[in-house]
């Protein structure tokens, strides 16, 4: 494409993404890079101040262990996470993040994030691991620290509004990344000695509940579109837990989170007839022993019990906000003023929870005259998301730290510094790294910091400038802008630009992907159930969709971005379906149910299922990796 200037950026370290993990990596890598005279470039598709999952802010830090105060140990956290993931967790990774996350939280506080404190000056917990924050400006605070750290190394090392399309891979090595500006006619080539993929998880791979006028609403941010998964898969990295999607229960239609209601307000959830599924359905948990029998009950099983009520026609399910608020204010009933004050305080907390994190939920309450102190709100299971940082586990298979390995784990879990994928010089963190769930925002930042240090170590040990052939660059450039050429060449073929025999527009491509995934791979309309026949059909239809990859058309730079987002979603979808097919059991009911293998089978399937695509042949390999326990 002659109209697009090629901009080549060379740095020692390349950080892709500007979210929680990337900001953590920037802070830590900048510190060590300065000492060693290394350079860093950071690239975000948006503006770091409000990019990624924390764009709107958050109302809690979901991972805080409280080691110094003696509240919990990192070992306790490992027990919690492996239980919540039905036994499937890389304990070395979870432990590593748990032992470092508190210091990240203390940095947040130092940088100005208001964390709730009680009268004695102690942090206010939402639950055992979660701290309440006034987090409307959380992302701005975290981004500011990252930007300040990078500024120490020079002025022009942050590239905002540059969309990364994929890796530069030669000789089986990641030599950087390519992308394009979403505002200017510029093609970017980033060459680096070590690259971090931290571009978040994936939304809108499955058809969302919010369609039509509500399209765009989702729990996870619509701008995280599977770029991390695509990037690592395209580089030839081994991926893990691609079947472990996350289905959150959220306030219906505006996706407000439930954590504060269940944990802080201690609310119950009941069905249309007042029944409490967590109580009435308890016997079901026996089927999922030993994981179903320990507290807290894993997130997918909590979902499952509610879903059983829905399948029995007992919906909707309600969050009993009025009951919870009433109970918390009960003890003030005898003193009118104190009661009014307490009620006002609880109302404020209820609204602020959403205003800090999911503003549209507050809008929906206002629009439907919902006063949470008077009336329950519906909650529902969302469409599936792919995120390695929350209660899902999908991501790249990464090396753990050497000091945490045992004789048994060393060969399987450690081949370089923390965070290195199976591709030389390519690292992953946050949503991009797998099998270490429940890191959330704070743990993702902590993991980013750990990888930031690894990136510097890696460059010091492999200090060779990457040489990339011109042919590789030119073919990547042609591939990136191809959708614009398709549009230009064929836009005159019909009178309606949306209906054209020569091309498919990104939105149409996305709808097709979502329909396949929704109906055949266990989305909302299939009640989260699937089986081998359905998955085989999904594979067949995905193959047809892949054939149309070359027919994507883009009228503008923004539409080019949409085209690439959907290519990234497709990579995530394919890894997911292949892994659903491979694991012949049901381990996470409430996330998905394989009706042809409806039981959990620890003997055959208490393993990690990994997969890998050969970048040259496009052939996929499915791999079973052992789960080793390092904590009793
Ligand atoms: O209540 C490209 N999360 C919560 N974490 C908490 O600690 N507490 C909460 O209260 C949380 N809740 C919550 C959460 C998320 C959301 C959306 C809501 C509520 C409504 C989870 C955390 O936010 C999450 O774990 C971390 O943010 C994960 O960090 P990371 O770094 O893996 O992802 P990111 O922050 O979304 O950043 C991604 C970045 O990549 C950029 N990007 N850049 C260039 N090229 C491309 N192609 C790119 N694609 C993406 C993005 O712009 C962004 O900068 S609660 O529900 O549990
Ligand atoms: P959520 O708002 O659902 O993302 O939850 C925030 C945090 O609280 C996460 O760490 C969840 O795993 C946890 N959580 C939410 N609901 C419950 C519950 N009913 N029991 C235990 N933990 C919960």
Domain boundaries defined on the chain: 5-52+137-244+385-461, 249-381, 470-608+617-626
Query: Which architecture does CATH list for 249-381?
Result: Alpha-Beta Complex (3.90)
**Pocket of ligand 1 from Cβ distances under 6 Å:** 16-22, 43-46, 51-54, 58-62, 163-164, 198-200, 219-221, 223-224, 227, 257, 259, 357-358, 389-390, 430-431, 440-442, 444
- How much is the pLDDT for 492? 96
Whether 464 is a known active-site residue: answer: no
- Look up the CATH number of domain 470-608+617-626: 1.20.58.100
Contacts of residues 570-574 at CB distance under 8 Å and 24 or more positions apart, as own/partner, are: 570/513, 570/542, 570/545, 570/546, 571/226, 571/229, 571/230, 571/233, 571/234, 572/202, 572/205, 572/226, 572/229, 572/230, 572/386, 572/394, 573/205, 573/513, 573/516, 573/517, 573/521, 573/542, 574/542, 574/546
Residue showing tokens 């690292």: 427
- How much is the pLDDT for 422? 98
What the block records as the tokens of 35 is 């000492």
- How much is the pLDDT for 214? 86
Q: Which numbered atom of ligand 2 lies nearest the CA of 296?
A: 21
Pairing relation of β-strands 162-170 and 173-181? antiparallel
Choosing from 11, 59, 441, 566, the catalytic residue is 441
Q: Which ligand has its closest atom nearest to the C-alpha of 436?
A: 1
Q: How far is the CA of 71 from the centre of ligand 1 (A)?
A: 27
Question: Is 5-52+137-244+385-461 a CATH 3.50.50.60 domain?
Answer: yes
Mean pLDDT by 10 residues, the chain (632 residues): 90 98 98 98 98 97 97 98 98 98 98 97 97 98 98 97 98 97 98 98 97 89 96 98 98 96 97 98 97 96 98 98 97 95 96 96 97 98 98 98 97 98 98 98 98 98 96 97 98 96 98 98 98 98 97 98 98 98 98 98 98 96 98 95
- Find all residues with CB under 8 Å of 366, minimum gap 6, and list them: none
Give the residue from 352, 349, 329, 327 showing the smallest Cα distance to 339: 329
Choosing from 281, 390, 568, 587, the catalytic residue is 390
- How much is the pLDDT for 167? 98
- How much is the pLDDT for 1? 63
pTM: 0.98
- Find all residues with CB under 8 Å of 164, minimum gap 6, and list them: 16, 43, 45, 177, 178, 179, 199, 227, 231
């Amino acid at each position: 494409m002659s109209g697009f200037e090629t901009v080549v950026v060379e740095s020692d370290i390349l950080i892709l993404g500007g979210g929680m993990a990337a900001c953590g990596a920037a802070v830590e890598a900048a510190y060590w890079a300065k000492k060693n005279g290394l350079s860093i470039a950071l690239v975000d598709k948006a503006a770091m101040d409000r990019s990624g999952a924390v764009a709107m802010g958050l109302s809690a830090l979901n991972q805080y262990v409280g080691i110094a105060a003696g509240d919990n140990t990192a070992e306790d956290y490992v027990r919690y996470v492996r239980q919540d993931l039905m036994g499937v967790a890389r304990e070395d990774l979870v432990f590593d993040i748990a032992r470092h996350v508190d210091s990240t939280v203390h940095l947040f506080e130092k940088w100005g994030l208001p964390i709730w404190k009680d009268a004695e000056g102690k942090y206010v917990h939402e639950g055992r691991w979660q701290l309440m924050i006034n987090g409307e400006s959380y992302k701005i605070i975290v981004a500011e620290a990252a930007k300040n750290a990078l500024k120490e190394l020079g002025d022009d090392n942050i590239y905002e509004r540059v969309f990364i399309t994929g890796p530069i891979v030669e000789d089986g090595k990641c030599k950087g990344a390519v992308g394009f500006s979403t505002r200017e006619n510029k093609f970017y080539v980033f060459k680096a000695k070590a690259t971090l993929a931290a571009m978040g998880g994936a939304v809108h791979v499955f058809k969302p509940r919010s369609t039509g006028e509500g399209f765009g609403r989702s729990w996870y941010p619509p701008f995280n579109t599977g770029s991390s998964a695509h990037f690592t898969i395209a580089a030839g990295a081994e991926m893990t837990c691609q079947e472990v999607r996350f289905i959150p229960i959220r306030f219906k239609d505006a996706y407000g989170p439930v954590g504060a209601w269940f944990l802080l307000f201690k609310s119950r959830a009941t069905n249309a007839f007042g029944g409490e599924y967590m109580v009435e359905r308890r016997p079901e948990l026996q089927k999922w022993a030993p994981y179903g029998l320990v507290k807290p009950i894993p997130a997918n099983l909590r979902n499952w019990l509610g879903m059983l009520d829905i399948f029995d026609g007992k919906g909707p399910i309600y969050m009993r906000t009025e009951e919870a608020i009433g109970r918390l204010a009960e003890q003030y009933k005898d003193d009118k003023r104190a009661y009014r004050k307490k009620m006002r305080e609880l109302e404020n907390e209820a609204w602020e929870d959403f205003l800090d994190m999911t503003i549209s939920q507050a809008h929906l309450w206002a629009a439907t005259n919902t006063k949470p102190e008077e009336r329950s709100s519906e909650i529902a299971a969302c469409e599936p998301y792919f995120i390695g940082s929350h209660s899902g586990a999908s991501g790249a298979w990464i090396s753990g730290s050497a000091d945490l390995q045992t004789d048994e784990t060393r060969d399987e879990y450690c081949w370089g510094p923390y965070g290195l994928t199976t591709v030389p010089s390519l690292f992953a963190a946050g949503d991009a790294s797998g099998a270490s769930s429940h890191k959330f925002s704070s743990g993702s930042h902590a993991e980013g910091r750990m990888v930031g240090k690894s990136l510097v170590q890696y460059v010091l040990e492999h200090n060779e400038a990457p040489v990339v052939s011109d042919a590789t660059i030119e073919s990547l450039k042609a591939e990136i802008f191809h959708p614009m050429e398709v549009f230009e060449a064929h836009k005159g073929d019909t009178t309606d630009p949306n209906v054209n025999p020569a091309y498919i527009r990104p939105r149409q491509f996305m709808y097709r992907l979502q329909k396949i995934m929704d109906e055949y791979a266990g989305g909302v309309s299939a009640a989260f159930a699937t089986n081998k026949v359905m998955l085989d059909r999904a594979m067949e239809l995905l193959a047809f969709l892949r054939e149309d990859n070359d027919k994507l058309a883009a009228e503008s730079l923004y539409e080019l971005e949409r085209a690439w987002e959907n290519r990234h979603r497709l990579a995530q979808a394919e890894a997911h379906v292949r892994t659903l097919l491979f694991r012949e059991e049901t381990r996470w009911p409430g996330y998905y149910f394989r009706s042809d293998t409806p039981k959990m089978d620890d003997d055959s399937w208490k393993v990690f299922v990994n997969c890998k695509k050969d970048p040259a042949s496009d052939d996929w390999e499915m791999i079973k990796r052992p789960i080793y326990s390092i904590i009793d």
